Amino acid sequence: MKKALISVWNKDKIIDLSKFLVKNDFEIISTGGTKKILEDNQIKVTSISEVTNFNEIMNGRVKTLHPKIFGGILADKNNESHLEDLKSIDSTIIDLVVVNLYPFEDMSKNSDLSFDKLIEYIDVGGPSMLRAAAKNFQSVIALCNPALYENFMIEYSKNSGIIDYESRKEYAKQVFLETSKYDSLIFNEFSKNNSEELSNSLNINLSKTFDLRYGENPHQISSFYTDKDISIFKQLSGKKLSYNNFFDIETSIRIVNEFDEICCCIIKHSNPCGFAIGNNLIESFDRAVSCDPVSYFGGIVGFNKKITADLAKKLIEPFLECIVCPDIDDDALEILKMKKNLRVIVYNNNYNFSNISVRSVLGGMLSQSSSTKFNEQDWQVVTESKPDKINFNALRLGWKIVKYVKSNAIVIANDKQIIGVGAGQMSRVDSVKIAIQKCKENGFDFSNAILASDAFFPFSDSIEVANKNGIKHFIQPGGSIKDKEIIKISDKLKVSMIFTNQRLFFH
Amino acid sequence: MKKALISVWNKDKIIDLSKFLVKNDFEIISTGGTKKILEDNQIKVTSISEVTNFNEIMNGRVKTLHPKIFGGILADKNNESHLEDLKSIDSTIIDLVVVNLYPFEDMSKNSDLSFDKLIEYIDVGGPSMLRAAAKNFQSVIALCNPALYENFMIEYSKNSGIIDYESRKEYAKQVFLETSKYDSLIFNEFSKNNSEELSNSLNINLSKTFDLRYGENPHQISSFYTDKDISIFKQLSGKKLSYNNFFDIETSIRIVNEFDEICCCIIKHSNPCGFAIGNNLIESFDRAVSCDPVSYFGGIVGFNKKITADLAKKLIEPFLECIVCPDIDDDALEILKMKKNLRVIVYNNNYNFSNISVRSVLGGMLSQSSSTKFNEQDWQVVTESKPDKINFNALRLGWKIVKYVKSNAIVIANDKQIIGVGAGQMSRVDSVKIAIQKCKENGFDFSNAILASDAFFPFSDSIEVANKNGIKHFIQPGGSIKDKEIIKISDKLKVSMIFTNQRLFFH
């Protein structure tokens, strides 16, 4: 008679599996809560203590950690001496180990639980049995998750009780995934502290959510991984997301959430090419398009309010890649769905983006905190000329957007929208020239225009070029050794300048 | 008398620790190889089988998995009923667990070892004991690594045998780090297959190698994490690396390794702003500088050959951020060290960059394969005009470099060097204009110049603009719906064009 050891916290599907096992002549060995629920369902169970002749001690802390159990799990079925050793301790082979672990993860999310109580949920016996069975997968089958039971039963029935090598190995693999995640979660709980330092180790354990069509380029494969509980966004319609879509969607969500005003942003090639506030979404969309009516073609469009049918009708006119919003009316969604390829993404407005981002480089990973709080309290007007209220609103708007433009980043804006963007140049003055060029191409004049720079001006040339075109207000971090000279020239040109004391340099 | 259970694969410092324990009145409990080495060093040891009255079975597969051991490790010292339970099974508290694990990681690197043999190195008893002790860290101390012994001995001596809560917790934390890494390595071994798909889960377990001064900006904290065995680069001199340095250093290494010719590249703000081949490093450096003699200021300079003193003398003249090379003469290093801030990085030329890169985004991680093999075999000349040999060399050079320029990427080059770069524009023709502008600013003419584009031309405007300036050879992936029209216009303009059939679009 085959033997199955069952000890599960998560009781899903355990009755079905157990009945299946009994029907297939398994003896079921169990204890505690699992034993009780099986017996309540008229399933015959042998108690673990009957096998070990050993009563559980210390409120169950030590139940299964016994040589008769581990001998039965670890014995190689094809090794005669192992089988003799088993006999000598009056034990026999265990064929199947069905175990899942104390719910440490769920408990860790219960903020009422103290650390001392939480550690009671560290499972010791469970991982030991699972790991032993997984190591010995050629002799023993380990099922660590209710999701695996059905496959097991199907294969068992089909192949008259034989589970093939690949399936066994797959089950074993799942065990090590489970135990590594489990201990990594515990480690993270032990590591929690209030200091600003980054943790001494980087432990990431995520599951594949889906494969992408491809990575940055068609010859690159790519997948998206998340924690199973995280659902920051949902795709309601359209083609599969591309690799770059992910970054652009994140940027669009971050940008529109910088503003309390109703607003719209358009991202193209990972840079904002349009942004505007308006009295409603339609006005803000039209205005955002006006920033660069050529480049917005194929863009990712983000909103911070619910999309209505009126807006949806406008959004299906041009070719766009994605629409990103916190909510959408049903009829608006129906309209957007008419364009089959158009991706519609709804984001969770209550989601907090992680404060830590990581990225692989040079045979390792770089991790950094990403908190960049809007720091108006640290701003200083360093020039004789001061911005008026309208200019100040424009400076605020430009500073919020320049953070999302790739360095060297220049944004020219007024108090309603951006009107020119210069990005990714190796020299700052080149970005200034490009931004000015864009303004001109798109028919903007520079009255009330401000210029925002993500890092300090190393020379005064940028200010001179901008001022020649009529720009009179500047915002930048400051911090150059030439600051004094730059303030002097600004005063000479009668322009205003704010030092924010915070650099927003991003690639 | 206190009890220490010792079972270690890595015997480093175990004699010192054991002598210390004996001197401090510990009884040492051990088995197997550990027991032998201790006894060989005249340390008195109680055998585990004396404690359990149970002989190890199945060639040691089951030695420690016994209630007397686990009762002793798991009992709460402050819980009277636990202590009574222990007494009832004729066991007592274990105070210290010194265990390290079978060297699964080292063994997995031994390619001669079959998978079936490798799994024998999955430790079952060790993690069980360590995890039990770590869970019960308020009663038991767990040392999972020889690096921890010294601290333990120091604190024990200082505080008359008392190890405080924070230290105990730290030791426990190390256990879960160790076991999660261990099982994640096993999982990865179980997951190895030959398919092109990315794995179903993403498991990263790295240790902090060092903290950076800051992240992308001074208000962001940042750390670098690696596998302890990975040493792709070494810093020989200069200031601490910055966040962006890492990416630029990787880019510089990748670029120079694309070429068999002696070459030099200069990276500024994550884009190449100079690249040239030459008869020696000095010539290639001078030529690389000539690509953009303004922007190279503050750049990262990469080489593919050993740096000599002659070159070093030239390298300390301008302000540069990093020098990156596979090797350097001692006297050259002495010269570079004269500039205290100048970072000197030597990379391991035998290192293979990982084929998979990962990056956090939208509440999860994106993983993608990064293999972009130089695919000349797939190239097609699609125009009536064909490039001659010199043009072809220039096209090859431009195509290798354009991959490292941020999209939309345009590189203008001849057969010795790049002469203009257009990067990061939202519209391709803007990148073309910028690249042409750079060529002119730096005094290059366009005879023998080629233009490389990382993705297809959506319109013919880029070709017309370039041709107006005298550029007669183009290389691009192809794949636009307008390809036919673009070929037609190219033929009309009598320019040559290669379709590479591979897009190299990177942000």
pLDDT at A363: 82
pLDDT at B372: 67
- Alpha-carbon torsion, ordered B145, B146, B148, B150, to 10 deg: 170
Q: State which of A240-249, B46-55, B56-65 shows the largest mean pLDDT.
A: A240-249
pLDDT at B235: 94
Give B472's pLDDT tier (boundaries 50, 70, 90): very high
The residues pairing with A27 across neighbouring beta strands, listed in sequence order, are: A3
pLDDT at B194: 47
Give A369's pLDDT tier (boundaries 50, 70, 90): confident
Please name which of A405, A433, A427 lies closest in space to residue A505, comparing C-alpha atoms. A405
Please name which of B306, B346, B341, B309 lies closest in space to residue B324, comparing C-alpha atoms. B346
In contact, B298 and B320? CB cutoff 8 Å: yes
Q: What are the tens digits of pLDDT across the range A128-154? A: 999 999 999 999 999 999 999 999 999
How far is Cα B249 from Cα A134, in angstroms, rounded to an integer?
Answer: 42
**Residue-wise burial string across A344-375, b where 16 or more C-beta atoms lie within 10 A, e elsewhere:** bbbbeeeeebeebbbbbbbbbbbbbbbebeee
Q: Which CATH architecture is the domain A228-347 placed in?
A: 3-Layer(aba) Sandwich (3.40)
In contact, B194 and A198? CB cutoff 8 Å: no
Q: Which helix (H) or strand (E) holds B203?
A: strand B201-211
| pLDDT cut 90: percent of chain B above it | 70
Q: What are the tens digits of pLDDT across the range B251-272? A: 999 999 999 999 999 999 889 9
pLDDT at B229: 61
pLDDT at A372: 67
**Structure tokens given for A164:** 């093939």
How far is Cα B341 from Cα B336, in angstroms, rounded to an integer?
Answer: 10
Q: What is the DSSP letter of A40?
A: H
Give A194's pLDDT tier (boundaries 50, 70, 90): very low
Give A371's pLDDT tier (boundaries 50, 70, 90): low
pLDDT beyond 90 at A188: no
In contact, B143 and B168? CB cutoff 8 Å: no
In B, residues 13-52, which contact A (CB 8 Å cutoff)?
A: 52
- Alpha-carbon torsion, ordered B221, B224, B225, B230, to 10 deg: 180
Q: State which of A46-60, A310-324, B352-366 shows the largest mean pLDDT.
A: A310-324
ipTM of the complex: 0.71
Known catalytic residue: A13? no
Q: What is the DSSP letter of A60?
A: G
Of the candidates A66, A219, A506, the beta carbon closest to that of B66 is on: A66
A197 → chain B, closest CA residue: B221
In contact, B145 and B152? CB cutoff 8 Å: no
- Mean pLDDT value of segment A293-308: 95
pLDDT beyond 90 at A315: yes
pLDDT beyond 60 at A322: yes
Question: What's the CATH fold of domain A2-191?
Answer: Rossmann fold (3.40.50)
- Mean pLDDT value of segment B331-350: 95
pLDDT at B176: 94
> Which candidate in A2, A13, A19, A135 is catalytic?
A135
CB–CB of B205 and A202 under 8 A?
A: yes
B476 contact partners, CB below 8 Å, separation of at least 6: B452, B453, B455, B456, B457, B497, B498, B499, B500
pLDDT beyond 80 at B34: yes
Q: Say how many C-beta atoms besides its own lie within 10 A of residue A302's C-beta.
A: 30
How far is Cα A169 from Cα B355, in angstroms, rounded to an integer?
Answer: 25
C-alpha neighbours within 13 Å on the C-beta side of residue B235: 18
| pLDDT cut 70: percent of chain B above it | 98
Whether B110 has its CB under 8 Å from any CB of chain A: the answer is no
Q: Which chain A positions have a beta carbon within 8 Å of B233's beta carbon?
A: 362-363
**Residue-wise burial string across A35-51, b where 16 or more C-beta atoms lie within 10 A, e elsewhere:** bebbeeeebebeebeeb
Q: Cα Rg for chain A, rounded, in angstroms?
A: 31
Name which residue leads in pLDDT, B21 or B220. Answer: B21
How far is Cα A184 from Cα A178, in angstroms, rounded to an integer?
Answer: 10
Pairing of strands A263-268, A271-277: antiparallel
In A, residues 404-443, which contact B (CB 8 Å cutoff)?
A: 406-408, 421, 423-427, 430, 434
Map A95-150 to HEC letters. CEEEECCCCHHHHHCCCCCCHHHHHHHCCCHHHHHHHHHHHCCCCCEEECCHHHHH
pLDDT at B196: 52
> How many residues appear in chain B?
507
Q: What are the tens digits of pLDDT across the range A422-462? A: 987 778 999 999 999 999 999 999 999 999 999 999 999 99
Q: What are the tens digits of pLDDT across the range A200-229? A: 778 787 888 888 988 888 888 899 998 766
What single string gives the DSSP state of each residue in B390-452? HHHHHHHHHHHHHTTSPSS-EEEE-SSBEEEEE-S-SSHHHHHHHHHHHHHHTT---TT-EEE
> Which candidate in A19, A82, A181, A269 is catalytic?
A269
Give B192's pLDDT tier (boundaries 50, 70, 90): confident
| Residue given tokens 């050959």 in the structure block | B305
Answering whether pTM is above 0.80, one says no
Q: What is the DSSP letter of A94?
A: -
pLDDT at A341: 95
Strands (E), B283-348: 300-303, 322-325, 343-347
Whether B231 has its CB under 8 Å from any CB of chain A: the answer is yes
Q: Which chain B positions have a beta carbon within 8 Å of A222's beta carbon?
A: 198, 366-369
C-alpha neighbours within 13 Å on the C-beta side of residue A240: 12
Q: How far apart are the first and last CA of chain B?
A: 64
**Backbone torsions φ then ψ of B21, nearest 5 degrees:** -65, -45
Question: Mean pLDDT, chain A, as a whole number?
Answer: 92
Please name which of A236, A414, A437 lies closest in space to residue A342, comparing C-alpha atoms. A236
Give A230's pLDDT tier (boundaries 50, 70, 90): low
* Measured CA angle at A230 (ends A228, A232), to 5 deg: 145
CB–CB of A191 and B173 under 8 A?
A: yes
pLDDT at A425: 79
pLDDT beyond 70 at A387: yes
pLDDT beyond 50 at B139: yes
In contact, B289 and B314? CB cutoff 8 Å: no
pLDDT beyond 90 at B365: no
Nearest CA distance, A322 vs chain B (angstrom) = 15
**Residue-wise burial string across B469-479, b where 16 or more C-beta atoms lie within 10 A, e elsewhere:** bebbbbbbbbe
CB–CB of B220 and A365 under 8 A?
A: no
Question: Mean pLDDT, chain B, as a whole number?
Answer: 92
Residue A501 one-letter amino acid: N
Residue spans in chain A of domains classed CATH 3.40.140.20: 228-347, 376-499
The residues pairing with B233 across neighbouring beta strands, listed in sequence order, are: B347
Q: Which helix (H) or strand (E) holds B193?
A: none
**Structure tokens given for B295:** 């922007």
pLDDT beyond 70 at B193: no
In contact, B245 and A389? CB cutoff 8 Å: no
> Which of these ranges, B132-136, B352-356, B380-384, has the smallest mean pLDDT?
B352-356
Q: Is A337 helix (H, G, I), strand (E, B) or coil?
A: helix
How far is Cα A137 from Cα A76, in angstroms, rounded to an integer?
Answer: 9
pLDDT at A89: 87
pLDDT at B228: 64
pLDDT at B221: 87
Whether A228 has its CB under 8 Å from any CB of chain B: the answer is no
Q: What are the tens digits of pLDDT across the range A479-492? A: 999 999 999 999 99
**Backbone torsions φ then ψ of A76, nearest 5 degrees:** -80, 115
CB–CB of A62 and B70 under 8 A?
A: yes
Of the candidates A86, A225, A367, the beta carbon closest to that of B365 is on: A225
- Mean pLDDT value of segment A239-250: 93
Q: Which helix (H) or strand (E) holds B128?
A: helix B125-135
| Residue given tokens 């496959």 in the structure block | A151
Q: Could you give the angle at which helices A461-468 and A483-493 cross, rounded to 10 degrees?
A: 20
pLDDT beyond 90 at A283: yes
- Mean pLDDT value of segment B223-240: 85
Question: What's the CATH fold of domain B230-347?
Answer: Cytidine Deaminase; domain 2 (3.40.140)
Give B319's pLDDT tier (boundaries 50, 70, 90): very high
Question: What's the CATH fold of domain B376-499?
Answer: Cytidine Deaminase; domain 2 (3.40.140)
Q: Which helix (H) or strand (E) holds A227?
A: none
pLDDT at B58: 78
pLDDT beyond 90 at B60: no
* Measured CA angle at A201 (ends B217, A357), to 5 deg: 35
- Mean pLDDT value of segment A360-389: 88
Nearest CA distance, B232 vs chain A (angstrom) = 6
Whether A1 has its CB under 8 Å from any CB of chain B: the answer is no
Residue spans in chain B of domains classed CATH 3.40.140.20: 230-347, 376-499
Q: Which chain A positions have a beta carbon within 8 Å of B206's beta carbon?
A: 201-202, 364-365
- Alpha-carbon torsion, ordered A373, A376, A379, A383, to 10 deg: 140
